[in-house]
């Protein structure tokens, strides 16, 4: 039994099932020899569950985790059509429920902080339904109400492209996140309604103006589920010191992204490097935000990650590196899942 139960702020496993690559939700229950997550490897690595992203890929741009675009020019995919987005989102939501059903009690879609804590305590794999981008939500927010009732508990208003609500941060290196305008009027209404319903708002793919608009409007803790430190890796997807200070002031949190291009100082998508680079980002986050506001947000199944944490079964390597760096048991418990439970309990209505 691994020593720590890791609940994680971001994966793209539902996208694996959605893409026609021969892996379906049912395969998640047995050990796979590809991808980053399945139930068997999760148990081996102490991966207790995480945020499962419902994400609509651009139909014309297939970005495989192993073929990253050239980021010396900002990478901004075009907006996606609403009807296409709804179809893709419904399919991924349905796959998550099909997985829950097929697992016969081994996987649970969690909707409250108590359910999440109970799953962690009892070794039931916890899946939190997260939307990475609001393309499948209409301006009148009808879909938001329905998706919430179905189990959506976290929403990234944008992925790195424009929507009717906001403008995602184009991915560029080196670059400030301050690219493009902030929230639209519909985006402001969306933030308000998320606050009322208790849906967590994820800032990871926001550009800087959008970030500050949410910071001003939202009554909930500010959270970036899968972003790193801009001062250590100056990609537009990482958070500036000023943004980190606002997250701390709101008592929110940041989940460490394992994507090599968001960790490595030189922005290289190079996975053959020691885990020190992850430790450095975590050290910085703990120092700047405090021990209760830092967690993990791997981006497993959505990005190229360091070989030493090359799938969920290897997560004990990260724990070992953090122990070597002086992290004590209390802090490791907080980072592994307690901080996520804490901030979700503060944000959700239950
Ligand atoms: Zn992402």
* pLDDT tens for each residue of 149-168: 999 999 999 999 999 999 99
Element (H, E) at 84: helix 82-102
Domains of the chain: 6-347 (3.20.20.140)
Distance, CA of 327 to CA of 283 (rounded, Å): 9
- How many A from CA of 259 to the centre of ligand 1? 10
pLDDT on residue 62: 61
Coil vs helix vs strand at 11: strand
* Single pTM value for the model: 0.97
User: Looking at residues 130-150, what average pLDDT do you find?
Assistant: 98
- How many A from CA of 29 to the centre of ligand 1? 24
- How many A from CA of 96 to the centre of ligand 1? 18
Cβ contacts of 328 within 8 Å, gap of 6 or more: none
- How many A from CA of 282 to the centre of ligand 1? 18
Distance, CA of 46 to CA of 57 (rounded, Å): 29
Distance, CA of 27 to CA of 46 (rounded, Å): 19
- How many A from CA of 10 to the centre of ligand 1? 7
- How many A from CA of 296 to the centre of ligand 1? 13
Distance, CA of 106 to CA of 190 (rounded, Å): 34
- How many A from CA of 262 to the centre of ligand 1? 11
Cross-strand partners of 52: 11, 129
pLDDT value at 67 more than 80: no
- How many A from CA of 177 to the centre of ligand 1? 14
Residue whose token pair is 């209404």: 189
Distance, CA of 131 to CA of 153 (rounded, Å): 8
Element (H, E) at 253: strand 253-256
pLDDT on residue 86: 98
pLDDT grade for 76, boundaries at 50, 70 and 90? confident
């Amino acid at each position: 039994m691994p020593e720590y139960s890791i609940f994680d702020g971001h994966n793209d496993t539902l996208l694996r099932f959605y893409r026609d690559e021969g892996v379906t939700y049912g395969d998640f229950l047995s050990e796979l020899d590809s991808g980053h997550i399945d139930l068997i490897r999760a148990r081996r690595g102490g991966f207790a569950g995480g945020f499962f992203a419902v994400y609509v890929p651009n139909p014309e741009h297939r970005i495989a985790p192993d073929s990253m675009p050239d980021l010396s020019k900002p990478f901004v995919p075009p907006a996606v059509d609403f009807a296409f987005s709804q179809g893709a989102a419904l399919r991924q939501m349905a796959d998550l429920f099909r997985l829950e059903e097929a697992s016969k009690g081994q996987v649970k879609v969690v909707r409250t902080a108590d359910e999440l804590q109970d799953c962690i305590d009892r070794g039931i794999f916890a899946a939190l339904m997260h939307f990475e981008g609001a393309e499948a939500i209409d301006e009148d927010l009808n879909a938001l109400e329905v998706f919430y009732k179905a189990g959506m508990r976290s929403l990234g208003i944008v992925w790195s492209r424009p929507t009717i609500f906001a403008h995602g941060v184009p991915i560029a290196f080196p670059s400030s996140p301050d690219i493009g305008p902030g929230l639209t009027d519909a985006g402001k209404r969306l933030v308000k309604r998320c606050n009322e319903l208790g849906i967590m708002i994820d800032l990871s793919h926001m550009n800087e103006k959008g970030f500050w608009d949410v910071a001003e409007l939202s009554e909930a803790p500010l959270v970036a589920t899968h972003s790193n430190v801009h001062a250590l890796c100056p990609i537009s997807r990482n958070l500036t010191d000023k943004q980190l200070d606002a997250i701390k002031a709101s008592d929110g949190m940041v989940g460490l992204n394992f994507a090599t291009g968001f960790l490595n100082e030189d922005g290289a998508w190079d996975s053959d490097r020691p885990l020190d680079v992850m430790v450095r980002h975590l050290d910085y986050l703990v120092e700047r935000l405090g021990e209760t506001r830092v967690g993990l947000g791997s981006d497993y199944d959505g990005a190229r990650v360091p070989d030493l944490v090359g799938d969920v079964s290897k997560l004990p390597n990260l724990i070992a590196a953090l122990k070597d760096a002086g992290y004590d048991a209390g802090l490791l418990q907080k980072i592994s899942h307690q901080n996520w439970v804490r901030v979700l309990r503060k944000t959700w209505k239950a």
